[in-house]
Amino acid sequence: MNKDMVYLDNSAVTRIDEEVLKAMKPYFFDTYAVATSEFAYTMGIEAKDALEEARATIADSLNADTEELIFTSGATESNNLALKGVMYNQKEKGHLIISDIEDFSVLNSAKKLEKQGYEVSYISVDEKGKVNIEELKESVRDDTVLVSIQHANQEIGTVQNIKEIAEYLEDKDILFHTDATHTFKRIPIDTQEVPVDLITISAHTIHGPRGIGALYKRKGVKIEKIMDGGFQEDNLRAGLENIPSAVGFAKAVELITEEENEKIKSLRDTLIEKVEEQIEDVTLNGSREDRSPQNANITFHYVEGESITLHLDMRGFAVSTGSACFSKSLEASHVILGIGGDHERAHGSIRFTFSRYNTKEDVNKIVEAIKDVVENLREISPLGKKGSE
């Protein structure tokens, strides 16, 4: 890979921090045993201690108790465990509510539950990606068991008012899950202030290792394990604990600062401002005000996002697109369509997501590159007026 590549796809995965890797290394080569009880051998006890220290660090970042955190293999497993674990635990097949623009691990878990006889309601969002709260309230039924609404959207970055939703559902005695993969450590969630019952988090978006995540489960919430095997993670997640990654996850949590988040937000705002000033016929997708700090999603009309992405890649920039050509399902972004966009808007959308390793120079470089790429592509575009002028 080109070492000079400007990487702006940090909502897909972030580069691991060197300090994270350093913290993990001893648990590959020195303390590499399986986590064992206090009555076993020394290396196993040390491994268990490291696992529990990591759990405590991550739980503390949510103002939660240590025993409320279940380690998983990442956001996908956490979302599956939250939705299926809650619904399977019911004596009768109940009702689930999610939004139209959830990540696929929530969306497809809900669809799987539907096939198994559970009922699911899908709540619409407005043109900025905000959940229709009144529609959500009207969808609540006597047999509603769980509502799952993401904290921030994976594509357009719109942040939901989960406190309002959680408080409403608490009064109704309905469980509430939020996928916080794209806000964890970027936008605080205090479980003592927001009565959310289940929270999905992951290390891969905060410069931690891939393959490690967690599910916060409030005390008293009952779920059924969905993967059979041993009795690890309070008998809720079978399999050997990934101790090196758990340690790395905790270190990644410790390293993020408010100053870093403000820097990332500034880069995001600068990119949006420069693109809107210097390039015609663009649309910012998602909420301008209520937005995750790292995300800018912009549609460049009259051109394909696939073409923009490939041309930027050749110039040393990594971004992602909502184009159907980049989807294995060959469908346009369900998120852009969900906020009222048409296929042209979805196909021309580009997601730029920032991390601690990005700079103002990166923003200046990519804006110049986008201007040139979009101008050249519009000259040959068959998609609309720019291609026929």
Q: 325 an active-site residue?
A: yes
- Active-site option among 13, 33, 133, 325: 325
223 exposed, middle or buried (CB, 10 Å; 0-12, 13-18, 19+)? buried
Residue in the structure block whose two tokens are 């997601």:
351
- Where does residue 161 fall: left (phi above 0), alpha (psi -120 to 50 degrees), or beta otherwise? beta
Is 306 in contact with 325 (CB distance < 8 Å)?
yes
Per-residue tokens: 358: 């990005």
Q: Which two tokens stand for residue 124?
A: 């619409």
| C-alpha–C-alpha distance, residues 267 and 7, integer Å | 13
Report the distance separating Cα 337 and Cα 299, nearest Å: 12
Could you give the residue numbers annotated as active site? 325
